[in-house]
Amino acid sequence: MIDNVEGMVESIVSNSHMQSSVNDGVTEKTHQIMAHQYEDELFCPLCGASRRQKVEKFSNYQGFDIIEPGHKIEFKQFPIVHIATCLQCSTKTTMVLYEGPEKLELAILRNTYGGSVTENTPQEVKYYLDQACRARMMSALSASMAMYRSALEWILYDQGYVDGMLGAKINKLEESLSNNTAPKWANDMPVELLTAIKNIGNGAMHTNGGDISKQQQIDGSLIELVDIVFAELLDVIYEQPIRRSKNVQRLKSVAANLSK
Ligand SMILES: [Zn+2]
């Protein structure tokens, strides 16, 4: 996966070949040249899952040195820009490896609305999922998580739970489940899942007992999981009912024609 600095560097190294070596008795540095094009895995927001990508070297950098022992990699110049194209849907992703304030960082920039938005997702929910994705692209993962929390609040608002903050809205949803007035989708999604997203979103914004290190738990793989949960949530709420009704209509109309 090339969605993090380590993965990207590993991919660059494994898709490179030795051009020449500096020796003088001891081989300390090995000059590497990277293949112009290679393939690797990356999450595709349009496909909603990890997809094989054609990755092209975009920036005209000279290469990098691997310093032995311990394989310390020193790039000669920044930024390093690659363009990844999803082999399934052709979504393009621009990947910029650059020097951040403390260490190497990776920006992942896409040409689609980010996040797991579906065709019939309401605009307000789309807005917050896009914000979540933009924050994620710049590795601002706590900011991203806070936006997922807002997206969830808008989903519940859209579904008729308009009063109070997110916690109150989830309580109302539970109440309506227990008296059989909840929307159909609520029976297919465990409420604990929504509560967990709320709590992690709160944790991303709160002081958590004065311990900022707790934010480290909100990492790339967690955000990817949250995105997958949203993809499922949006499908169950906004796409499944439409798909089902279209299928029923089509089958009924063919059945009616055949029985004439
Ligand atoms: Zn795709």
Residue-wise pLDDT for 56-91, tens only, equals: 988 766 667 666 666 677 777 888 899 999 999 999
Output the CA 180–ligand 1 centroid distance in Å: 38
Start-to-end CA distance of the chain, whole Å, equals 56
Q: What is the mean pLDDT of the chain?
A: 87
| 257 domain-assigned | no
At 252, phi and psi to the nearest 5? -65, -40
Output the CA 252–ligand 1 centroid distance in Å: 33
| 255 domain-assigned | no
Output the CA 91–ligand 1 centroid distance in Å: 6
Domain boundary among 61, 88, 112: 112
Output the CA 42–ligand 1 centroid distance in Å: 9
Q: Is the same domain home to 238 and 125?
A: yes
Q: What is this structure's pTM?
A: 0.73
Q: Is the same domain home to 75 and 176?
A: no
Output the CA 54–ligand 1 centroid distance in Å: 11
Is beta strand 80-86 parallel, antiparallel or unpaired with respect to 72-75?
Answer: unpaired
CA atoms within 13 A on the CB side of 146: 10
**What DSSP state is assigned to residue 84?**
E
Residue-wise pLDDT for 108-144, tens only, equals: 888 876 667 788 999 999 999 989 988 988 888 999 9
Output the CA 36–ligand 1 centroid distance in Å: 21
Does residue 24 surpass a pLDDT of 90?
A: no
User: In 3-state terms, what secondary structure has residue 93?
Assistant: strand
| 64 domain-assigned | yes
Tokens of 244: 């089902």
Domain boundary among 95, 112, 129: 112
| 209 domain-assigned | yes
Q: Is the same domain home to 107 and 228?
A: no
Output the CA 83–ligand 1 centroid distance in Å: 14
Output the CA 7–ligand 1 centroid distance in Å: 19
The boundaries of the domain holding residue 130 are: 114-244
Output the CA 93–ligand 1 centroid distance in Å: 10
Output the CA 72–ligand 1 centroid distance in Å: 33
The span from the CA of 34 to the CA of 82, in Å, is 11
